[in-house]
Chains A and B, each alone.
Chain A
């Protein structure tokens, strides 16, 4: 008699494309916003998965396992994109615009105003999501990497700092600035 808990998940590469390609592609595209790179990643994931198929222990589902491989590759891309940080950041001066006066007060032109979606259910608001995605893409690469890893993958802050080589103090500066800019962009493009 077989115990269903002990039956492990198996890999079926003959069905990988059918079963997982669109999912992995969407997953990648949402996180790196580059169609060609997302396609390449899907292919790389499958090929890498074949190579280490013998190390698949069946403890997670096939999809979870493939997604974990993809996630590591996405972090590699974040790292590469943000390593050219200084150059990229300087060209994007708007991102460094100061929202506050020296005494810590909001500059009037940056006062947060209600979006008008706060009290509805914004989660089903496709149009708002589209604007949100565009605004995220305007963030400098390193900020987007930190922000995405934190909010999407729920990585530990320590791990993000290690992977992306930022100090803990800098991590908070980035989190703070990324949100200020993202929020301002939403206000500008939504209201």
Chain B
């Protein structure tokens, strides 16, 4: 298999490069390799698009801890504040 064919055929490597691109960036040869692969592989192009979306959504979901409706119940909170007050009074 020639080098171009190898790149064209290797979706396993291409998807790894996509992850690397999103996290630490790629070296120039890696960029070229991924570019050649994606130009000829529609399946990996879908992966490329979705992988970036997933990262954005995960980040969004986990950093927006504010706008959420999970709440601690009042009893738990009361006990907790009591424990804090007890600790404060020890000193």
Chain A interfacial positions (CB closer than 8 Å to B): 13-14, 16-18, 21-23, 25-27, 29-31, 39, 42-43, 46-47, 50, 99-100, 103-106, 111-115, 117-118, 122-123, 128-129, 132-133, 136, 147-148, 150-152, 157, 172, 175-176, 179-180, 182-183, 186
Contact = CB atoms under 8 A, between A and B. Distances in A.
A26 to B, nearest CB: 4
Contacts of A172: 16, 19-20
Contacts of A13: 84, 88
A129 B72 contact: no
A124 B53 CA distance: 13
A152 B15 CA distance: 21
Nearest to A123: B60
Given A112-B44, A114-B46, 12 more contacts: A14-B85, A16-B81, A22-B71, A23-B65, A42-B80, A46-B83, A104-B11, A104-B12, A122-B53, A128-B57, A129-B61, A172-B16
A73 B9 CA distance: 44
B34 to A, nearest CB: 14
A182 B57 contact: no
Interface of B: 9-13, 15-16, 19-20, 23-24, 43-44, 46-47, 49-51, 53-63, 65-66, 68, 70-72, 76-77, 80-81, 83-85, 87-88
A42 B72 contact: yes
Contacts, number: 126
B23 A150 contact: yes
The A contact surface, by secondary structure, is helix
B54 to A, nearest CB: 6
A10 B61 CA distance: 30
20 contacts: A13-B88, A17-B81, A17-B84, A22-B72, A25-B71, A29-B70, A31-B62, A39-B72, A46-B84, A106-B11, A112-B46, A114-B46, A118-B49, A118-B53, A123-B60, A132-B54, A148-B62, A152-B58, A152-B63, A172-B16
Nearest to B70: A26
Nearest 6 Cβ contacts at the A-B interface:
A104-B10, A152-B62, A17-B81, A112-B46, A100-B12, A27-B65
